[in-house]
Amino acid sequence: MVLPFVSVVVLNYNGERFIKDCLESLKNIDYDNDRFEVIVVDNASTDKSVEVIKKYTPWAKFIETGKNLGYAGGNNVGVENAKGEYLVILNPDTEVDKNWLKELVKHIISDSGIGACSSKVLYYADKSKINTIGGFWSVLGVSGSIGEMDSQDKYDDTVYTFYPTGCSMIMKKELYLSLGKFDDDYFLYCEDPDIGWRIWDNGYKVCLAPKSIVYHLGSAALKGLGKKSYSNLFYFYNTRNGLLTIIKNATTMDLLWMVPLYFVSWSTLAFLFLIRGKFIAAKSTIKGLIWPVSNLPWVIKKRYTANYKRTGKSKYMMTGFIDTLKIFFKSKFGKHFL
């Protein structure tokens, strides 16, 4: 079988501590060298990671953006320069298994109805535990990882998820572009639920490629900003972009219940943050809720200039009310929401 040509896009931001290990693991994968390319995009790093990356050129194509375009914008710069039939988005704070790419490709070409596949992402620090196999989206408007802290030998078959993990995912380039790409306006967070929504709405599926293995440090680039900055960024963009995802993608009828439920859910979370003394989280969450309202003309224009289908099919993949409550009251509540 002739393997398709694949473009692997790695977005770097201050990744001096881990980018070398990521690129070294990519050099050792079991995939024909002339059937894939590695594109490293740097989002205006201020550490010495650029010096590290340049040592891997010309094997890796290197692009400097000149400013921080965020996760979506930076990855899209890589996509614009990609020659592959398929695109892989890979976090820089990862190391890939030898068969990682081959297994991703085998899975997505096995069924023309698959729009995107995720790798099984394990924790780098504890390779016996799963970090994520993809994500869920709840009818309450909250999202999170599936499989977190489960044993690595779980999920050995195909599992369908609401969205692929942006840590390691594959899509056909043509489909990625036709669905509107990652949204540059998001900057950080919710890019993968947003595109997962569009994949399902347009008649394709999202699933796990269970034999494609990645080891992940986990939000390493953001944590380098410091605890306060990390909290501000996470809670603001996560809240704002979740609401934008609904407004952009939901059918008109679904908007009538999804938006009010979102406000109730996230206002409740902000209140819980407040009584727990998590004042930064509470403030940033409220700011995230207010932002789309205070920029309503821009938000409405964004909805009506989108050129992809809104069929409502994706809601049948959403996690229901009862299952969401079960997630809330498990130990994972703290990880996903608080």
Q: Are residues 151 and 231 in the same domain?
A: no
Provide the CA 171 distance to its chain's centre, in angstroms. 13
Q: Give the confidence band of 203 by pLDDT, cuts at 50, 70, 90.
A: very high
Q: Are residues 24 and 173 in the same domain?
A: yes
Give the pLDDT score at 329: 65
Final residue in a domain of this structure, among 156, 187, 218: 218
Q: Are residues 144 and 256 in the same domain?
A: no
Q: Are residues 300 and 178 in the same domain?
A: no
Q: How many domains does the chain have?
A: 2
Give the Cα separation of 122 and 148 in Å (integer).
9
Give the pLDDT score at 180: 92
The residue written with tokens 């996760």 in the block is: 71
Percent of the chain with pLDDT over 90: 85
Q: Are residues 99 and 244 in the same domain?
A: no
Q: Give the confidence band of 224 by pLDDT, cuts at 50, 70, 90.
A: very low
Give the Cα separation of 259 and 292 in Å (integer).
11
Tens digits of residue pLDDT in 186-196: 998 999 999 99
Q: Is the pLDDT of residue 210 over 60?
A: yes
Tens digits of residue pLDDT in 76-103: 999 999 999 999 999 999 999 999 999 9
Give the Cα separation of 36 and 97 in Å (integer).
16
| Average pLDDT score over residue span 136-143 | 92
Q: Is the pLDDT of residue 5 over 50?
A: yes
Give the pLDDT score at 338: 41
What mean pLDDT value characterizes the chain? 91
Q: Count Cβ atoms within 10 A of the Cβ of residue 27 and give its class: 0-12 exposed, 13-18 middle, 19 or more buried.
A: exposed
| Average pLDDT score over residue span 130-155 | 93
| Average pLDDT score over residue span 36-65 | 97
Q: Is the pLDDT of residue 176 over 60?
A: yes
| Average pLDDT score over residue span 26-51 | 97
Is there a domain that residue 167 lies in? yes
Q: Is the pLDDT of residue 223 over 70?
A: no
Give the Cα separation of 303 and 186 in Å (integer).
14
Give the Cα separation of 9 and 82 in Å (integer).
8
Q: Are residues 198 and 274 in the same domain?
A: no
The residue written with tokens 């190391």 in the block is: 95
Residue 106 structure tokens:
């085998």
Give the pLDDT score at 334: 40
Final residue in a domain of this structure, among 186, 218, 250: 218
Is there a domain that residue 152 lies in? yes
Is there a domain that residue 188 lies in? yes
CATH of the domain at 179: 3.90.550.10
Give the pLDDT score at 324: 77
Q: Are residues 93 and 137 in the same domain?
A: yes
Is residue 205 within 8 Å of residue 115, measured between CB atoms? yes
Is there a domain that residue 239 lies in? yes
Give the pLDDT score at 227: 46
Q: Is the pLDDT of residue 173 over 60?
A: yes
Q: Are residues 157 and 297 in the same domain?
A: no
Boundaries of domain holding 322: 223-336
Is there a domain that residue 1 lies in? no
Q: Are residues 89 and 155 in the same domain?
A: yes
Give the Cα separation of 260 and 268 in Å (integer).
12
Rg (CA), the chain: 19
Q: Are residues 154 and 263 in the same domain?
A: no
- Three-state secondary-structure class, residue 111: coil
Final residue in a domain of this structure, among 184, 218, 252: 218
Q: Are residues 241 and 209 in the same domain?
A: no
Q: Is the pLDDT of residue 54 over 60?
A: yes
Give the Cα separation of 207 and 170 in Å (integer).
10
Q: Are residues 229 and 331 in the same domain?
A: yes
Residue with the larger pLDDT of the pair 319 and 4: 4
